[in-house]
Structure 1
Amino acid sequence: MKMSHPISQANENSPYGDLTLEEFYKKHQIIHEESFMLNKRKMKLFTQTWRPEYCANNNHLHHQQFKGLVAMVHGYTADSSWISELTAVAIAKLGFLVCALDLQGHGQSDGYPGHIPNIQHVVQDCTQFFDSVKSQKPKLPSLLYGESLGGAICILISLQQKYGWDGLILNGSMCGISSTFKPTRPLEKLLPVDALFAPTWKVVVTKPVASKSFKEEWKRRLVAKNPNRRSSGKPPAATELEFLRVCKYIRMHCHELEVPLIILHGEDDVVCDPEAATFVYESAASKDKTLKILPGMWHMLIGETGENVELVFGTIFSWIQERAVKDFLRTISSFI
Structure 2
Amino acid sequence: MAVQHPVAEANEQSPFGTLSPTEFYAKHQVTHSSDYITNSRGFKLFTQWWTPLPPTKTIGCVAVVHGFTGESSWFVQLTSILFAKHGFAVCAIDHQGHGFSDGLDNLMYHIPDINPVVDDCMQYFKTFRENHAHNLPAFLYSESLGGAIALYITLRQKGAWDGLILNGAMCGISAKFKPPWPLEHLLFVVAAVVPTWRVVPTRGSLPEVSF
Structure 2 residue 87 is the aligned partner of structure 1 residue 95: yes
Please tell me whether residue 86 in structure 1 is matched to residue 81 in structure 2: no
Partner SS, residue 127 of structure 2: helix
Distance in 2 between residues matched to 1:80 and 1:55, nearest whole Å: 26
Q: Which residue of 1 aligns with 2:19?
A: 19
Q: Distance between the aligned counterparts of 1:87 and 1:72, measured in 2? A: 9
Residues 52-94 of structure 1: CA deviation (Å, up to 9, x unaligned): 11179xxxxxxxx311000000011110011210100000010
Distance 1:194 1:138, change over 3 A: same
TM-score scaled by structure 1? 0.57
1:219 aligns to what?
Answer: none
User: Which residue number corresponds to residue 47 of structure 1?
Assistant: 47
The 5-angstrom pairing of residues 1-336 of structure 1 reads 2-54=2-54, 65-111=57-103, 112-136=107-131, 137-206=133-202
Aligned partners of 1:10, 1:106: CA distance in 2, in Å?
22
Unaligned runs of 5+ in 1: 57-64, 213-267, 269-295, 298-336
Find the aligned partners of 2:20 and 2:187 in 1 and give their Cα distance: 44
User: Structure 2: where are the runs of 5+ without partners?
Assistant: none
Separation in 2, partners of 1:182, 1:12: 33
**How far 1:184 sits from its partner (Å)?**
3.2
Superposition RMSD in Å? 2.5
* 3-state SS, counterpart of residue 144 of structure 1: strand
Q: Distance in 1 between matches of 2:146 and 2:53?
A: 27
Q: CA deviation at 1:2?
A: 3.4
Return the alpha-carbon distance in structure 1 between the equivalents of residues 55 and 158 of structure 2.
29
User: Structure 1 residue 205: deviation in Å?
Assistant: 2.1
Matched positions, count: 206
Amino acid at match of 2:98: H
Cα separation, 1, equivalents of 2:43 and 2:110: 13
Bigger helix fraction? 1
Q: Determine what percentage of the aligned residue pairs are the same residue.
A: 52
The DSSP-based 3-state class of the residue aligned with 2:182 is helix
Q: Per-residue displacement from partner, 1:274-332 (whole Å, max 9, x unpaired)? A: xxxxxxxxxxxxxxxxxxxxxx99xxxxxxxxxxxxxxxxxxxxxxxxxxxxxxxxxxx
Question: CA shift at 1:10, angstroms?
Answer: 1.4
Separation in 1, partners of 2:70, 2:43? 19
